[in-house]
Amino acid sequence: MEKLLDRISREMQDAFEKAGYNRELGRVSISNRPDLCEYQCNGAMAGAKQYHCAPIQIAQKVAEQCASSEAFEKVEAVAPGFLNITLKGEFLKDYVVSMKNSPKFGLEKPEKTEKIIIDYGGPNVAKPLHVGHLRSAIIGQSLKRILRYAGHEVIGDIHMGDWGLQMGLIIHEFGIRHPESVYLDESYTGEYPAEPPFTLAELEEIYPFASGKSKEDPSYKEKAMEATAKLQNGVRGYRALWHHILNVSVADLKRNYDNLNVDFERWNGESTVHDVIPGMVEDMKKGGYAYISEGALVVDVKEETDTKEVPPCMILKSDGASLYNTTDLATIKVRNEEDHPDEIIYVVDKRQELYFTQVFRCARKTRLVEDSTKLRFLGFGTMNGADGKPFKTRSGGVMRLEYLIQDIYEEMYRKISENKTDDQEMPAQEAEQTARKIAMSAIIYGDLSNQASKDYIFDIDRFTSFEGDTGPYLLYTMVRIKSILNKAKGAGISLEDLTLQSAYGSADKDLMKQIASFGACMESAVEELAPHKICAFLYDLANTFNHFYHETKILTEENTEKRDSYLALLQITLAVMEDMVALLGFEAPERM
Ligand code: ARG
């Protein structure tokens, strides 16, 4: 469907044209004086110079031409030359009804369906997920849902850190602890056990221990680097041990991401492209792009217009080892060859921006991707604690993601237990599920309602509140609507085929206008990769609905046509909210 503002702009443009002016002047926007009118057009002001006359004269002539308009109830020319517009209730009602009857509320399909890969999550194997991983997961997953809803084909790839020094550290430390083990015995030719030689808990203890030790002890680090090289060069036992590390760790990652309603189509990692690197490096040398500088192989990526220094992209270290860069570049090459994506989007901490500038430039220069392939970096800010510093546990340590989720869940469980009234006893199982849903909304909305690139403060008290700009407030509003609809049903009112009428007052008209701007919100969320736009829309919608709710008798309305129209409006409000919260990554319970 044509977006509401486009639709009414078209009408205004026709009026400009009929009055003898350039139709381009007829663009309509939402009123910035809602006390005076609903929409406005400032075209007469812009046209004054061009037509050598007072803006008010133009405005008056245009307003006259609007008399027969299908869409406008009233168009007033006011000094110095504004056009103040009020919509016809019937027109708005018809628009909302066609939204209701169209798939995705009439959201227009993109001109071209794009194939998009989103690289998000980015956990490091054998390290537990901590709060720093929350943002990439939540933002990436939401973008995936939004872009799919808009009609694109989207593949999510987790791009695990599974190939670097942390692997060598674990392997080396394992060898010290288990000298009898067959894995590091290079003379061993038998089968390796199918069972992993460690539990998840042991694995998670080994990494920080080994990492700490390598910082104090250079020879320990040296050995870990040797183990890394052996792993990467394919020494059998090292690979077998690495597979165990990966399996144990991935099972745990899946469990954690499941808890957040986050999933990936591809569980690829840095290791996936290992075999592609030698060929890629060869091509970069042959193409004359890569050269040796201080022993290392590099590609220059600086450009004349740079205002800050952009250092060369390092492809191989002087010992021939590959780097984080190298695996990212090889991944671009493989994605291009296997999927031919129109776009690759990276949802990564904004502190890696310069790094991605280097990688993208290098990929283009060395022709790993077609010119038409967009490479986009969506950098997110840090999630801070109440003190404005990166979020920590009470004791000052790094907060594990699952503990954070558990904390919020417990807080929500406590709240809904307190909310319980005698006539609304909730069975324990339902209370648990409800608390989970609300907890999810608190965490996800708390994150996504901020523009991704900004740092934000994770404020548990604020995020879990049922009032204000929060996920639980949205759910509370949805539950309120569900409850009215259920009561209506209980009272014998049929909810099928309810007829929406033109608005009876300003509160229901406002609600219809807000619903009607769904298309514009979605379009900008897609274009700008901005879930926060959906959050802002939902918050406005919930406020507009609650205002309507407080102003209006719904179930006790004696005029049944009016009552049914209100119920129809509730249905569509709920349906829009349901789709939109699902795009963010949560859903409403039946009651709370
Ligand atoms: N594992 C990386 C880190 O912890 C993030 C990966 C981001 N994605 C990428 N393609 N480099 O910093």
Tens of pLDDT, residues 483-530: 999 999 999 999 998 999 999 999 999 999 999 999 999 999 999 999
C-alpha distances (whole Å) from 319 to each of 51, 62, 229, 446 are 72, 75, 10, 45
Environment class of residue 259 by beta-carbon count within 10 Å: exposed (0-12), middle (13-18) or buried (19+)? middle
Take atom 3 of ligand 1 and give the residue whose Cα is closest.
122
What CATH code is carried by the domain that includes residue 464?
A: 1.10.730.10
How far does the centroid of ligand 1 lie from the alpha carbon of residue 376, in Å? 14
In angstroms, the CA 62 to CA 51 distance is 14
CB atoms within 10 A of CB 560: 9
Contacts of 130 by beta carbon, 8 Å cutoff, 6+ apart: 398, 399, 400, 401
Domain assignment present for residue 426? The answer is yes
Q: Are residues 362 and 494 in the same domain?
A: no
Domain boundary among 384, 412, 444: 384
What are the DSSP E strand ranges found in 381-464?
Answer: 383-384, 456-457
CA of residue 360 to ligand 1 center, whole Å: 14
Residue nearest to atom 5 of ligand 1 (CA): 122
Per-residue model confidence (pLDDT) at position 390: 86
pLDDT band at 425 (very low <50, low <70, confident <90, very high): confident
Question: Considering only CA atoms, which residue is closest to atom 11 of ligand 1?
Answer: 328
CA-nearest residue for atom 2, ligand 1, is: 122
From the alpha carbon of 349, which atom of ligand 1 is closest?
Answer: 12
- Whether 570 and 490 map to the same domain: the answer is yes
Whether residues 156 and 274 share a domain: the answer is: yes
Residue 124 is assigned to a structural domain of this protein: yes
pLDDT exceeds 70 at position 421: no
Whether 245 and 227 map to the same domain: the answer is: yes
In a domain, residue 476? The reply is yes
* Residue 139 sits in the same domain as residue 274: yes
Asked if residue 500 and residue 554 are part of one domain, the reply reads yes
Closest C-alpha to 118, from 393, 412, 375, 475: 375
Give the closest residue to 442 by CA, choosing from 410, 419, 480.
410
Residue 103 lies in a domain: no
Output the 3-class SS for 296-327: EEEECCCCCCCCCCCCCEEEECCCCCECHHHH
Ligand 1: centre distance to CA 304 (Å): 28
Is 591 within a domain? Answer: no
pLDDT > 60? residue 423: no
pLDDT digit string (tens) for 461-471?
999 999 999 99
Let me know if residue 395 belongs to a domain.
Answer: no
Nearest-atom index, ligand 1, CA of 161? 1
Residue 161 CA, ligand 1 centroid: distance in Å = 7
- Identify the CA nearest to 116 among candidates 172, 168, 155, 75: 155
Here the CATH number for the domain that contains residue 82 is 3.30.1360.70
Q: How far is the CA of 327 from the centre of ligand 1 (A)?
A: 10
Give, in order, the Cα–Cα distances in Å from 410 to each of 132, 433, 436. Answer: 21, 12, 9
What DSSP designation does 498 have?
Answer: P
| The pair of three-digit structure tokens given for residue 288, joined into one six-digit string | 């004359």
Tell me the CA distances in angstroms from 504 to 37, 149, 410, 484, 511, one per residue in order: 17, 33, 43, 19, 12
Q: Which residues lie across from 392 on neighbouring strands?
A: 398
Question: What atom in ligand 1 is closest to the CA of residue 133?
Answer: 4
496: number of CA atoms within 13 Å, CB side? 0
Q: Would you state the structure tokens that stand for residue 328, as one six-digit string? A: 């990212």
Predicted local confidence at residue 130, as pLDDT? 86
Q: Which atom of ligand 1 is nearest to the CA of 331?
A: 10
Burial class (CB in 10 A: 0-12, 13-18, 19+), 557: middle
Per-residue three-class SS string for 541-557: HHHHHHHHHHHCCCCCC
- Atom number, ligand 1, closest to the C-alpha of residue 348: 7
The answer to whether residues 420 and 522 belong to one domain is yes
> Tell me, what amino acid is at 54?
A
Q: State which ligand 1 atom lies nearest to the alpha carbon of 328.
A: 10
User: Residue 326 falls within a domain, yes or no?
Assistant: yes
- Count structural domains, the chain: 4
β-bridge mates for residue 96, sequence order: none
The ligand 1 atom at the shortest distance from the C-alpha of residue 160 is 1
- Span from the CA of 205 to the centroid of ligand 1 (angstroms): 22
Mutate to test the pocket of ligand 1, among 344, 348, 359 (most ligand atoms within 8 A of CB): 348
b vs e for 49-87, b when ≥16 Cβ sit within 10 Å of the residue's Cβ?
A: eeeeeebbebbbbbbebbeebebbeebbbbeebbbbbbb
Q: Over pLDDT 70: what percentage of the chain?
A: 99
CA pair distance 207, 239, nearest whole angstrom: 17
Beta bridge partners of 390: 384
Is residue 344 a contact partner of residue 375, using CB atoms and an 8 Å limit? yes
pLDDT score of 422? 53
Same domain? For 23 and 39 the reply is yes
Q: Which of 120, 135, 352, 398 to mutate to test the pocket of ligand 1 (most atoms within 8 A of CB)?
A: 352
Whether 305 shows a pLDDT value over 80: the answer reads: yes
Q: Is the pLDDT of residue 173 over 60?
A: yes
Return the closest-CA partner of residue 122 out of 338, 270, 243, 260.
270
Task: Tell me, yes or no, whether 503 lies in a domain.
Answer: yes
* Ligand 1 atom with least separation from CA of 359: 11
Question: Rounded CA gap, 229 and 165, in Å?
Answer: 9
Which tens digits make up the pLDDT trace of 19-56? 999 999 999 999 988 888 999 999 999 999 999 999 99
Strands 296-299 vs 374-380: parallel, antiparallel or unpaired: unpaired
* Residues in contact with ligand 1 (CB, 6 Å cut-off): 119, 122, 124, 159, 161, 328, 346, 348
Least confident of 4-8, 377-381, 416-420: 416-420
Q: Which of 217, 239, 259 is the last residue of a domain?
A: 259
Distance 435 CA to ligand 1 centre (A): 32
Which residue CA neighbors atom 12 of ligand 1 most closely? 122
Closest C-alpha to ligand 1, atom 6: 122
- As a whole number of angstroms, the distance between CA 473 and CA 469 comes to 7
User: Does 419 lie in the same domain as 319?
Assistant: no
Range of the domain at 171: 165-259
Closest CA to 412 of 469, 470, 457: 470
Q: Which atom of ligand 1 is nearest to the CA of 355?
A: 11
The preferred substitution site among 117, 119, 358 for testing ligand 1, maximizing ligand atoms within 8 Å of CB, is 119
pLDDT above 80 (res 420): no
**Same domain, yes or no: 484 and 427:** yes
Q: Which of 384, 418, 448 delimits the end of a domain? A: 384
Distance (Å) of CA 134 to CA 392, 405, 437: 13, 10, 17
Same domain as 203, residue 58: no
Stretch (H or E) spanning 73: strand 72-78
Angle at 557 between CA 556 and CA 561, to 5 degrees: 135
Summarize pLDDT for 349-381 with one digit per residue, the tens.
999 999 999 999 999 999 999 999 999 999 999
Ligand 1, from 124, 271, 313: best to mutate by most atoms within 8 Å of Cβ? Answer: 124
Centre of ligand 1 to C-alpha 246, Å, is 17
* Average of per-residue pLDDT values in the chain: 95
What pLDDT is stored for residue 386 in this prediction?
A: 86
My answer on whether 200 and 296 are in the same domain is no
Calculate what percentage of the chain has a pLDDT beyond 90. 89
